[in-house]
A = this chain, B = another copy of it.
């Protein structure tokens, strides 16, 4: 089973059982962002987590196997069009040089890893309009000389 079929299968069951990523993640003791990303096929799951997800959804070992597979991460448009995703792209464009200044001033020459990395989404209720809190946590990797 390839990743595409795996995602369609999982999303189908999720709709049929009226589950949310949040409740699944909470029941399984995983982060909603990571769980969603693995189910959409953009991250691989370690064998025990893959088995737990498949079992939770009542799906077979072929789904678990597909969750374990290492994905080829492809996105199709250099500039994303969906407004929610574009706003994130815009933040990278507007604040990219700023983040480079602030991070490298704090840590030295290097980068924030996108591999040794986790992310959370929270909701801050606010009478003037709720707010999205997006927290990224990545290991700092210093450049080396040799």
A binding-site residues for B, Cβ under 8 Å: 20-22, 30-34, 36-38, 40, 42-46, 49, 70, 72-75, 77-119, 121, 123-124, 126, 129-146
Contacts and interface: CB of A to CB of B under 8 A. Distances in A.
25 contacts: A20-B105, A21-B105, A32-B102, A36-B101, A40-B101, A42-B94, A73-B93, A74-B77, A81-B93, A84-B103, A87-B112, A87-B113, A88-B96, A88-B99, A89-B89, A91-B117, A103-B121, A106-B121, A112-B132, A115-B142, A129-B141, A131-B137, A131-B139, A131-B140, A133-B137
Given A36-B101, A37-B98, A89-B92, A111 B115 contact: yes
A38 B79 CA distance: 24
A118 B145 CA distance: 8
Given A74-B81, A124-B137, A129-B140, A34 B107 contact: no
A141 B123 contact: no
Nearest to A93: B75
Q: State the copy count for this chain.
A: 10
Contacts of A124: 137
A99 B74 contact: no
